[in-house]
Amino acid sequence: MTRDRPQSIVVLTGAGISVESGLPTFRGADGLWEGHRVEEVASPDGFAREPLLVHRFYNLRRAALHQVEPNAAHLALARLEREWQGDFLLITQNVDDLHDRAGSQRLLHMHGELRRARCTHCGASSSWVTALSPQTACPSCVQTGGMRPDIVWFGEVPMHLEACFTALSQADLFVAIGTSVTVYPAAGFVSLVAARSETRTLELNQEATGNPLFHEVRLGRATETVPELVAELLA
């Protein structure tokens, strides 16, 4: 590919793309929720120790999805996927459903989804939009006591990594949007693309991460920088 006409695009989004829809980032705040560190709540140990607290944390966030809408950045990425002539994959670290509701289809939720629940007895994952509790019966095996949010907690293996690495190995344009690139393996994606010649890596962020592997950084709010980039790519 020549520098100005990439063929294969991989986009990675983080919490920053959903801020203007009204969903807070992880590190923007003081990283606490009701006095608990998020890393404690979003962990297998935290769930084993205080299942009701963890269920409440996710039940509140799942319910909050009804109050928010995709923003111009989510919609611009869905348009890019529809109109782009080459390969395209959107990988998100976000567990909200805003990319889905914006119309993105070639989309991988590597940290899981608020709107899915998984049974620890039979392993079945189900679409879920209401509250979960230890009394919730699994839609597949009907057992109770085993339903958990289908979200990747700290210390667990992210989802769809094989597909992510395959796409990254073929990408000639990598765009990271609204992520602090501090949590691996997502934080390492840029190095997989930047390591090859004839590739372009771009960071769209409110504050620059300072990661030198990004060839270009565009600062600003996602609802401005993302539609601008998509218009450029589709011109």
Q: Which residues bind ligand APR (CB under 6 A)?
A: 14-16, 19-20, 25-28, 93, 111, 178-180, 182-183, 205-207, 221-222
Q: Which is nearer to ligand APR, 28 or 134 (CB)?
A: 28
Q: How far is the CB of 8 from ligand APR (least distance, A)?
A: 23
Tell me the residue number closest to ligand APR, measured at CB.
16
Concerning whether 66 is annotated as a catalytic residue, the answer is no
Q: How far is the CB of 87 from ligand APR (least distance, A)?
A: 24
The sign one gets for the Cα dihedral 129, 180, 74, 24 is positive
Q: Which is nearer to ligand APR, 6 or 14 (CB)?
A: 14
Beta strands in the chain (DSSP E): 8-13, 32-33, 36-37, 87-92, 107-109, 112-119, 125-127, 147-151, 173-177, 200-205, 216-219
Q: Which is nearer to ligand APR, 2 or 67 (CB)?
A: 67
- How far is it, in rounded angstroms, from Cα 42 to Cα 156? 10
Catalytic residue among 74, 99, 109, 111: 111
Q: How far is the CB of 179 from ligand APR (least distance, A)?
A: 4
Using CA atoms, how far residue 59 sits from 40, 76, 184, 188, in Å, is: 16, 29, 26, 31
Q: Which is nearer to ligand APR, 191 or 206 (CB)?
A: 206
Task: Give the distance from CA 156 to its chain's centroid.
Answer: 15
- With tokens 């994959």, the residue in question is 89
Q: How far is the CB of 61 from ligand APR (least distance, A)?
A: 12
Instruction: State the catalytic residues.
Output: 111
